[in-house]
Amino acid sequence: PDPDFDWRRIAYLVHVSRALDKLEETKLVPEKKVLYQFSARGHDMAQIILGSRLDQPKDAVCGYYRSRPLLLSLGVPLEDALGSGMGRAGGYSDGRDIGVVFNYPNPNGAPALPMCGGVGAQYTPTAGWAQAIDYYRSVLKDRAYEGAMAVVLGGDASVATNGFWSALTIATTQKLPMLFYIEDNQFGISVPGTYQTPGGNIAGNLESFTNLHILSGDGTEPAEAARLLKMASDHVRSGKGPALLRLTVPRLQGHSAQDTQTYKSEELVESEWARDPLPKLKSYLVGSLLDEGEWDEIEAEAAAAVEKAREIAEARDVADPETVLSNVFYEGEMQTLGGQWTHGYEPPASTEEPKPEGQRINTVTAIRRTLDHELEINPRVLLFGEDIGPKGGVHAVTLGLQDRFGIERVFDTSLSEEGIIGRAVGMAMAGLMPVPEIQFRKYAEPAMEQINDCGTMRWRTNNRFAAPMVLRIPGGFFKCGDPWHSQTNEVQFVHNPGWKVAVPSNAEDAVGLLRAGLRGNDPVIFFEHRAMLDDVWARRPYPGDDYVLPFGRAKKTREGNDITIVTWGAMVPRCEEAAKDISADVIDLRTLMPWDREMVLESVRRTRRCLIVHEDLQTGGFGAEIAAVVADEAFLDLDAPVSRLTMPDIPSPHNPVLLNWAVPSVDRIRVKIDDLISF
C-alpha cells in the first residue's frame, strides 16, 4: 500500500462509518430517534481517503448529506456525528438542523464549511473560499495559505445544478485552487445519471474544458482511489488551477432510510454489492500491511467507539426550546469561524453624529466615497459584480475604484447571480469582507438560495459559522419602469432570517448604513433606490469618514401632531411634500430589518392616526407588517383605521404615464392624508 496514506486509520474510519450506519438503520431509525438517515455505504472509503489529503489548516471542504465519512476523517467527535442526527443539544447545530447537514469549524485542521439542504448549493461557496486562498496569497502576502486548496463534494445528480456550472466557471476562469470531487453512483434518488448528464459521465463531457484538470476512475478500488486523489490534490496544491475528479461508487442502500430502491433491479443491486469497497480494502491491506487478527481488532475497536458515542449521545438532552430564538444575528458572542472579526479585525473609531463636510453630494458619490474609504483602510474589503470594474457599474457607483485599488479587489464577475453571492459566502467564511453587487433587484432571484443559506448560517450552526457581507442591490423606478429593472420587493429579504436590510433615502443615511454594514458582523442587504441616486432632494453633505448609523433607528423628517406617516426610500420626499401644509410626523424608517417600532408606536399613540406609504406591492408588502404591529399594540389609541398607500399588485409598468399612475404620487398621498384626518 502507498506509504503516503495512513491505511490503519483509513480502515478504522471505514469501520466506524459502517458501524454508525448500521446502528442508525437497525436501532435509531426504527426507534424514531433519528428522523433523517442517509447511509454512506459504498461512498465511505474514497471519502475517507480524500479527507486524509486535507492536511493543511487553510484548506476547507464543503460536502453534502452523504458526506459523514469525510467529517470522520477530519476528526469530528463521534458523539457529535451521532448526536446531531438525533437532534440532541450540542453537535453541529444544537438540534436546529438535520443531522446530515454538517458543519465543523475543526480547531485542529481544515474546516468543513456549513453544508446546505439544497443540492448543488455547496459549489459556489467553496469557489469563494478558493478565491480567498488566492487573495490571501497574492494580495495580503500571507504565506500560511501557500499550497492550500478548497474541496467540494457532490453527487452525479448535482452536476446538473446552476451552482455546479457557476462554480466551474469561476474556478476555471480564475484558475483557482479548487478540487471538484464527484461521487458518481449513477442515481439521483431514483433518476438515472443519464438524465443529469448526456452519457452519464461528467468527466468525459468536460474533457475539453479549458483550465480544468480531469481525472476519473473507480472509487471502490483502494489503490486506484488513493492514486487519483493524490494526483488531483497535488495538481491543485501546485498552483496549476482547478481539478475535477470523478470516482464511480455504488450506493449500497437507498437514497435515505425510507427509500426501498424498488426502481433498481435485483441484478443491479447485486452488482452494486459486488463492488462494495470494504472487502476490497480488506484484501488490499490484509497480508501486506495487516494480518487477519489486526483487521478484526480494528473492526472491534470501531464498534466499541461507536457504542460509547451512542451512550454519550443518548444521554444528551434536547436543547431548551426558547434557545432557538438566539443567534439569528450577532449578539456579542463571536462565531467560531467566518467574518473578518474572527481574524482579529477591530473597527476604527466611529461616531453616530454626522459631521458634514463640504458641498451637498448625490447618493452615488456618497456611496462611492464610502466604499473608497473602507477599501483604503481595510484590505479585507473586496467589491465585485457584473460590470462594476472598468465600466464602474451601470449606475456609476464604482466608477474609478478598480483603477485605484486594482483588479484583485474590485473586479467583474461572470453573469451568474448565484455565483456572485455564493462566492461571497465563501469569501466571508474565509475572513474577508465581500461587497457583491446584484445589478438590479429582479436579478437577485437566481441567487435566492444562496441569500437564504447565508442568512440562516449563524442560526443553523448555532453560532459556529457566519458569513457577514454587504450585498448592494439597486432597484425601484427611475424615470420609467418595467417588470425587470424596477422591482423593489424589499419584504422578501426581510423574510429571509439573518439579513439586516437597509433602505436609505438620501446620501447621508446611505453613508452611515453602508459603513455600519462594512464594519459589522452580520450580512446586510443595502438597497440603493435608482430614483434617489442622483435626486436633488437626496443630496446631503458628506457626513464624515467616521460616521456610522446604527440599524433600527428611524428618523423624523417632519414633526407634527395630526397624523403619523411611515415610509422609506423614494417615497420619503413625496410624503414630505404631501404633508408640507399639515401637522404631521413623517418617519423615514431607513432600515426594515430591524425597524424602529418604538418610534412608530410613540408617534401613533400621540397623533392617533397612521398612514404607511411604500412603493412595493400592497399584498404582503412590509407595510402590512407595520399596520399589524400598530393595530396590535396601539389599537385603542387610534382615531382612524391604519391605512396604506402602495403600488397596486402589478409589476412596474414601463411607460412613464402608466408608471406615475401606479406609484404613489404626492397628490394621492395628500388625498389619503386628508381622508384620515377627517375620518
For residues 209-220, one letter each, b for 16 or more C-beta atoms within 10 angstroms of the residue's C-beta and e for the rest, the string is: eeebbbbbbbbb
Where are any strands of DSSP class E within 236-346?
243-248
Distance of CA 218 to the CA centre of its chain: 33
Amino acid at 384: F
d(Cα 386, Cα 13) in Å, to the nearest integer?
Answer: 45
Asked if residue 118 lies in contact with residue 125, where contact means CB atoms within 8 angstroms, the answer is: no
Calpha distance 21→42 (Å, rounded): 11
Instruction: Round to whole Å and give the CA distance between 355 and 360.
Output: 13
How far, in Å, CA of 510 to CA of 173, rounded? 34
Q: How far is CA 675 from CA 188, 215, 563, 628, 642, in A?
A: 59, 72, 11, 20, 12
Residue count of the chain, please give it.
Answer: 679
DSSP 502-526: E---SHHHHHHHHHHHHTSSS-EEE
The phi, psi pair for 509, rounded to 5°, reads -65, -35
- Alpha-helical (H) ranges within 114-161 are 123-138
* Measured distance CA(566)–CA(634) in Å, rounded: 15
Reading the block at residue 442, the C-alpha cell is 429582479
147 phi, psi to nearest 5 deg: 80, 0
Which CA distances in Å does 31 have to 34, 98, 304?
8, 17, 21
CA distance 532 to 507: 9
Catalytic residues: 485
CB 499 within 8 A of CB 593: yes
- How many whole angstroms separate alpha carbon 531 and alpha carbon 649? 21
Crossing angle of helices 44-52 and 7-23, rounded to 10°? 140
Alpha helices, H only, 24-108: 44-52, 68-74, 78-85
506 residue type, one letter: N
Name residues whose C-beta falls within 8 Å of residue 511's C-beta, 6 or more positions apart in sequence: 366, 367, 369, 370, 542, 543, 547, 549
Beta-carbon contacts of residue 340 (< 8 Å; ≥ 6 apart):
378, 380, 431, 432, 433, 468
DSSP 671: H
